[in-house]
Structure 1
Amino acid sequence: MPTVSVKRDLLFEALGRSYTDEEFNDLCFEFGLELDEVVSSVVVCCFMGRCSSLTAFVSVQICSTSLAGPRAALSLCLLEGTKKYPRRAWGIPWGCSQKGTRRALVAIGTHDLDTISGPFTFTAKAPSEIKFKPLNQSQEYTASQIMDLYRTDSHLRQYLHLIENKPRYPVIFDSNGVVLSMPPIINGDHSKISLKTRNVFIECTGTDMTKAKIVLDIIVAMFSEYCEKQFTVEAVEVIYPNGKTHIYPVSDMVETPSSLAKLLTRMCLSSHVIGNGNNIEIEIPPTRADVIHACDIVEDAAIAYGYNNIQMVIPKTYTIANQLPLNKLTELLRLDLAAAGFTEALTFALCSTEDIADKLGMDVSATNAVHIANPKTAEFQVARTTLLPGLLKTVAANRKMPLPLKLFEISDIVVKDPTKDVGARNYRHLCAIYYNKSPGFEIIHGLLDRVMQLLEVPPNEENGYTIKATEGSAFFPGRCAEIFARGQSVGKLGVLHPDVITKFELTMPCSALEINIEPFV
């Protein structure tokens, strides 16, 4: 859950009163927020958005941004050759007082409109053909020189890869040939915002047009609160290479049945009853991009009404909630494994590449593991592909406990799967280990027989289960078996290799069992 920080005193000033910590905590709870901590001075992050939402909730103040039609003099023309570069959405708040994810998804640019002249042109040119003075620089550079200039810049160097290998770079000119920006790297110094800026030209760059429009709507709406004519912005007409035009930002209206107009108004959803009184018309402001379905309207109505004020009643439908079959099977197996004398453990879903590869005698490329893009520690580099390392680490942390140590876990593992939209999928595994002065293979084998008995899978090759000798990098040679059930391999059991035991800082023999229980659901 993200944490947003705002200045307490500025927020209270905007809300029109001061709150004790307890009162403000209650207000946040009623609004659907969790108050993390109250201090007198913190970093301001999205103050305007949080303030406008709470102000409307407390005092029924509505922020609804209106659009003025675009002018030809401020239109934007997209030339051929820019399709591969980020698309753009635009808007202009007039008479302002001062007030996305590493730019690969969405980036934002602002310009002093009074220093540039439309219409504007978005095109792509060879790096040597682009020359301008970058933001806060004292001289002009070519695009290639700009890339070299910022290659050591701690802030901008992380964005250079987005375009540096392209034969042509995206660039926006005004009608006089002045460069506004070379997106998504740097703006031109000519149109930078200053304390004297009154009219702002806003651009959003995005590889995803939907997300770019959402960001544009929110930014324009926040700027518009400080315009001479409050909550009014001018749209920009974008002309595409095929001659089609589109107006940005976009103002959408949504209609949905309800009898809660006043409550929705408290949630920044300006509403009024229409027709015979059974319907209301709701205006979705650009700051509420999270409203995408009728259920979002109902949720806002419930927040405004107060969840604590909703009377508990038995649903009038015949639908009865039930556990997923896989989860129900998991719970039943947990009870029986505990009854068999094994203690349940709950280990981390993330681990190091060493845990699932090197320590088990495997190469990491053979694990099919899902890697974390920016791991914070060496202990959490990949999603686990087996439950065994977690249990072995648990045994290592409890070596002083009386022997034998008998542990089990039934949890998900994660492996890559290109057929899934997220590129990976989960499997529910059961893993158990026996740690003692003797390997105890018969204990683990007996546990397998008990599990199969509970699953009503008989010990035969036709429609039941069987085990066959095999080899595994984590197991002692000649002491490993593969488990087959209903014609498919579901796991392995055996005595762990001494090297594996040593790498997990253990000193005694250990037997283990791990199976996939999903085929038995």
Structure 2
Amino acid sequence: MPKTHNVERVETDSIAAASASRNAHRQRRPRSPVRSSRTHLHQILTHFSFLISGCDKAQEEFEDLCFQFGIELDDVTTEKAIIRKEKHLEEEEPSEDEEVIYKIEVPANRYDLLCLEGLSQSLRIFAGLDSIPTYTVANISKESMLKMHVKPETSQIRPYVVCAVLRGVTFDEARYNSFIDLQDRLHQNICRRRTLVAIGTHDLDTIEGPFTYEALAPKDINFTPLKQKEEAGRDRQVRGEGWPRDGERTVVVVLVAGGGDDHQVCGYIKHLTPTMHLISLSSRDLLPTRNFSADELMEFYKKDLKLKKFLHIIEGSPVYPVIYDRKRTVLSLPPIINGAHSAITLKTKNVFIECTATDLTKANIVLNTMVTMFSMYCERKFEVEPVEVTYTDGRSYVSPDLSLYQMEVPISYITKLIGVSLPAHESARLLNKMQLHAKHSISEKNEASFTISVPPTRSDILHPCDVAEDVAIAYGYNEIPKITFPSVKPQLLNKFSDLIREEIATVGYTEVLTWILCSSKEISTMLNREEDKNAVINGNPRSADFEVVRTTLMPGILKTVGHNKDHPKPIKIFEVGDVVLLDEKKDVGASNLRKLAALHCGSTSGFELIHGLVDRIMEVLGTPFVSPGDKTGYYIESSNEPEYLKGRQAHIIFKGAKIGTFGIVHPQVLHNFDIPDPCSFVEIDIEKFL
């Protein structure tokens, strides 16, 4: 069999998630045969002959095309090579009949590039092989439209729904797989793991409109879920002894991973040989699987590796969203699972798509992406049938909205931003390559402009700068002349900080960089202090280690020593960095302060060494040591800070104001940070010197 190729895109913001989702689908449904994959690619990418021939030169040309388009051919590999790499095994030469995978990295906000259909169409338009398609909504009256009636209870959980119909679709196995994969990638990307939007696709010929979108108590929702029917259709081994009975039927108890008592009722056996102790059943041996109530289903899916991560979205709600058809057949329980009754297959001709959401804007983007990518397979190419969504309060709208979005962009703005002066007709040609219609016009300010028509596939175009970026991509970043900007002078504080760093490093201290976020106890109880009222609190911390913004450099320095206590002594480290304090005078409510901190840790406290470091800093700054009360220099006075050992600490007074403290760190503080050796520490506000 000749070598064949498959193109796979990789999301920039969730590569691992996309891979996991893709692998889950491969386990759940048959993979595309290699020949089918080749045929599909040949239909879509006819002019990219390297995908069929495997020619190295053509592959290089394709890689250049991707680069020019602003995407990257990340890797050319095979499934076996990926597995071997994950297991850290030696690489092997791919066999001739092994499917080759082209991993292409695309921008995370280009949802139209998340499937092969959109990617190939965009590349062909960019290469001048195809024209920009015109997407249309079927011209039918509202009376003839399918209806989706939304009940008011849905406002408690997922208030929005948008729908569309693809008529006369022709699926083959590769197209079907791509259709499912696009849903997964959208769920991982813009849908934020189904929390914002959940997509449901159904065979329209198996259901009847009008449809209703409701929110009911979990116990009131009963249906056969899609995946349960798929699982029942697989060959299973079951126990053949001690069969439990359910009336006249024999219950089939299916053993799942782990064995023991971890089992579930999958269906009913038609006949049973009493002498058999272990039998194998297939789908033809089983009657249809039983219905689940929604609460039973949630419990059932807690063991499902793919679906259990979505349960939390609705699990705590008193009502669950559900979509019914006219005969009260359940289409889906969003965002968890679709019903088995309306599952799409390779024979499906009419596809009903519904997107339930908490964000209507994102729902429309998702729906537009689904229908525009696969309307190319409809009997009437690029035409989508609309659905009217109505609410009980009188609101209604028709979806999808495939109209062009108009944006006015001054030509001078584009040329100034990219640094190249282009004729208007050339800029328009470049924008057409990026699927943007550009029409020359004169703005209200009497300046030459483009009226840009943004198609429904380009939801990433939000601002004139996005248009300018597309011009730059189509023109070629490598063709834009390089400009050397005049040198920028550093800010005085940063320059001063660098000089301080250099001086302290010269006397033998090593610089460290620590987190600017820390836990609240690290700036309070662990330093023997009370709660710091001046700390800026992180409203949504990722963990307990990042609850507040640091108000002192001390915790970071001590944690560094605690994690390196086995390092040869003495440990001499320092940091120059910002702390943040609440400040009502600032418009943001807080202000940054640049501080210097240094620590000595060894067999002895090194108090005299830290004292000497303070004197050295003052010496290089030209600040003399003066008598207490003299405001022409600096002096030290006794202090009583809880983080230091009493009687072995002092404030640093500069021109009459306290700028820092140094001393031997209190033994309890050292214990809190798991430091066994004595330490001395100094912290100075260096902004006071400017």
Name the TM-score class by shorter chain: 0.7 to 0.9
Q: Indicate whether 1:334 and 2:402 are aligned.
A: no
Q: Indicate whether 1:265 and 2:265 are aligned.
A: no
Write the deviation string for residues 19-64 of structure 1: whole angstroms up to 9, x where unpaired.
6565455444333334433324449893324333333333363345
Write the deviation string for residues 360-394 of structure 1: whole angstroms up to 9, x where unpaired.
6799999987599778xx9x887884654654565
Q: What is residue 309 of structure 1 aligned with on the other side? A: 479
SS in 2 for 1:243: coil
Provide the C-alpha distance between the structure 1 equivalents of 2:502 and 2:536, rounded to a whole number of angstroms.
31
Q: Indicate whether 1:66 and 2:217 are aligned.
A: no
Provide the C-alpha distance between the structure 1 equivalents of 2:207 and 2:589, rounded to a whole number of angstroms.
46
Provide the C-alpha distance between the structure 1 equivalents of 2:407 and 2:614, rounded to a whole number of angstroms.
57
- Structure 1, unmatched stretches of 5+, are none
Name which of 496, 511, 516 aligns with 2:665: 496
Q: What is residue 37 of structure 1 aligned with on the other side? A: 75
Q: What is residue 119 of structure 1 aligned with on the other side? A: 210
Q: What is residue 459 of structure 2 aligned with on the other side? A: 289
User: Structure 2 vs 1, CA of residues 255 and 131 (structure 1 numbering), >3 Å: closer, same or farther?
Assistant: same
- Structure 2, unmatched stretches of 5+, are 1-11, 20-33, 51-55, 79-99, 105-113, 176-190, 229-288, 412-423
How far the C-alpha of 1:152 sits from its partner, in A, is 2.8
Give the counterpart letter for 2:601 in structure 1: Y
Q: Indicate whether 1:469 and 2:539 are aligned.
A: no
Give the counterpart letter for 1:94 in structure 2: R
Checking the alignment, whether the CA contact within 8 Å between 2:217 and 2:320 is kept in structure 1 is yes
How far the C-alpha of 1:95 sits from its partner, in A, is 2.5
Q: What is residue 95 of structure 1 aligned with on the other side? A: 168
User: Structure 2 vs 1, CA of residues 173 and 314 (structure 1 numbering), >3 Å: closer, same or farther?
Assistant: same
| CA root-mean-square deviation | 4.9
Write the deviation string for residues 457-491 of structure 1: whole angstroms up to 9, x where unpaired.
99979999987724445x44554567799999987
Write the deviation string for residues 244-269 of structure 1: whole angstroms up to 9, x where unpaired.
22232333333323321111122222
User: Structure 2 vs 1, CA of residues 503 and 301 (structure 1 numbering), >3 Å: closer, same or farther?
Assistant: same
Name which of 150, 153, 167 aligns with 1:81: 153
User: Structure 2 vs 1, CA of residues 38 and 190 (structure 1 numbering), >3 Å: closer, same or farther?
Assistant: same
How far the C-alpha of 1:148 sits from its partner, in A, is 2.5
Q: Indicate whether 1:47 and 2:102 are aligned.
A: no
SS in 2 for 1:136: helix
Provide the C-alpha distance between the structure 2 equivalents of 1:423 and 1:226, rounded to a whole number of angstroms.
56
Checking the alignment, whether the CA contact within 8 Å between 2:565 and 2:675 is kept in structure 1 is no
User: Structure 2 vs 1, CA of residues 43 and 116 (structure 1 numbering), >3 Å: closer, same or farther?
Assistant: farther
Write the deviation string for residues 415-447 of structure 1: whole angstroms up to 9, x where unpaired.
999xx9999998765432223444233444555
How far the C-alpha of 1:219 sits from its partner, in A, is 2.2
Give the counterpart letter for 1:117 in structure 2: E
Q: Indicate whether 1:167 and 2:318 are aligned.
A: yes
* Count of matched residue positions in the alignment of Structure 1 and Structure 2: 513
Provide the C-alpha distance between the structure 2 equivalents of 1:150 and 1:354, rounded to a whole number of angstroms.
39
Give the counterpart letter for 1:120 in structure 2: F
- What is the TM-score normalised by the length of structure 2? 0.61
Provide the C-alpha distance between the structure 2 equivalents of 1:268 and 1:167, rounded to a whole number of angstroms.
46
Checking the alignment, whether the CA contact within 8 Å between 1:96 and 1:200 is kept in structure 2 is yes
Write the deviation string for residues 316-343 of structure 1: whole angstroms up to 9, x where unpaired.
xxx9966567655544543454456533
Checking the alignment, whether the CA contact within 8 Å between 1:481 and 1:494 is kept in structure 2 is yes
Identity %: 41
User: Structure 2 vs 1, CA of residues 228 and 487 (structure 1 numbering), >3 Å: closer, same or farther?
Assistant: farther
Which range moves more in the overlay, 259-268 or 241-250? 241-250
Q: Indicate whether 1:240 and 2:391 are aligned.
A: yes
Instruction: Show the 5 A alignment for 1:48-447.
Output: 48=116, 49-59=118-128, 61=130, 62-69=132-139, 71-72=142-143, 73-86=145-158, 87-98=160-171, 99=175, 100-137=191-228, 138-250=289-401, 251=403, 252-258=405-411, 259=424, 260-273=427-440, 278-313=448-483, 327=494, 330-339=497-506, 341-347=508-514, 385=550, 387-388=553-554, 391-392=557-558, 397=564, 405-411=571-577, 430-445=596-611, 447=613
The structure whose Rg is larger is 2
Provide the C-alpha distance between the structure 1 equivalents of 2:156 and 2:587, rounded to a whole number of angstroms.
23
Write the deviation string for residues 74-121 of structure 1: whole angstroms up to 9, x where unpaired.
122222222222222222232333322232222222112222222222
Write the deviation string for residues 171-215 of structure 1: whole angstroms up to 9, x where unpaired.
222223222222222222221111111222222232222222222
Write the deviation string for residues 279-327 of structure 1: whole angstroms up to 9, x where unpaired.
3332222232221100010011111111121123578xxx996656765
